[in-house]
Amino acid sequence: MDRDKLFSYHKWATIACLQHVQTSGEEFYSKEGINSFASIQETTEHVLGVEKLWLLRMSGVANPTFEHFDVETTEKAIEAYELLHEEMEVFFSRLTDQQWEETLHYRNMRGDKFSTTREEMLFTFVNHASYHRGQVTSLLRQFGKEGIALDYIYFQKENR
């Protein structure tokens, strides 16, 4: 797995999704629909908090606390993601290949025990965010708005 490319895709898709919500109309960001979370804003807060949990786990914190971010507007959400992703990039840049493959032990939010490598954690949180980006598209469609193509192939096309 090319970790740098995977994380670059993740950053691109996350920001592109939120920018699409902005251009669709800020009023749709907090509008309630039917999904795992009632709104795009609540979905965004969940994903951002989970990404911070993964960063803390990757840093060796076995039982991190869920952090709530100010995501009242799409602009604030984009800023919060950009800051978190910068923090992740700095952390990731310091890891050796051996550290990426190191198995860490932690508990999930339910208290279940897991043992996972940092590389597997990276794939997990990118996949988790992809799932929720799909839910954002679902919410937008419920509101009569278009989704946005965020598949990896579009990232490649845009970033060649």
Cβ contact 128:49 at 8 Å? no
CA distance 126 to 15: 13
132 labelled ligand-binding = yes
User: The domain containing residue 125 runs over which residues?
Assistant: 3-159
Measured CA to CA in angstroms, residue 63 lies from 69, 108, 115, 146 at distances of 19, 8, 13, 39
What is the residue whose two structure tokens read 């965020």?
A: 150
Its pTM stands at: 0.95
10 labelled ligand-binding = no
Q: Could you report the per-residue pLDDT of 60-97, keeping only the tens digit for each?
A: 998 899 999 999 999 999 999 999 999 999 999 999 99
Q: What is the pLDDT of residue 1?
A: 66
CA distance 58 to 119: 9
CA distance 64 to 102: 19
Q: What is the CA radius of gyration of the chain?
A: 16
CA distance 31 to 95: 40
CA 123 to chain centre: 11
The average confidence (pLDDT) of the chain is: 96
Eight-state DSSP code of residue 113 = E
Cβ contact 71:48 at 8 Å? yes
Cα–Cα–Cα angle for 24, 76, 63, nearest 5°? Answer: 120
Q: For position 29, which CATH number holds? A: 1.20.120.450
105 labelled ligand-binding = no
CA distance 76 to 70: 7
Backbone angles phi, psi at 135, to 5 degrees: -70, -35
- Number of folded domains in the chain? 1
Q: Could you report the per-residue pLDDT of 32-66, keeping only the tens digit for each?
A: 999 999 999 999 999 999 999 999 999 999 889 99
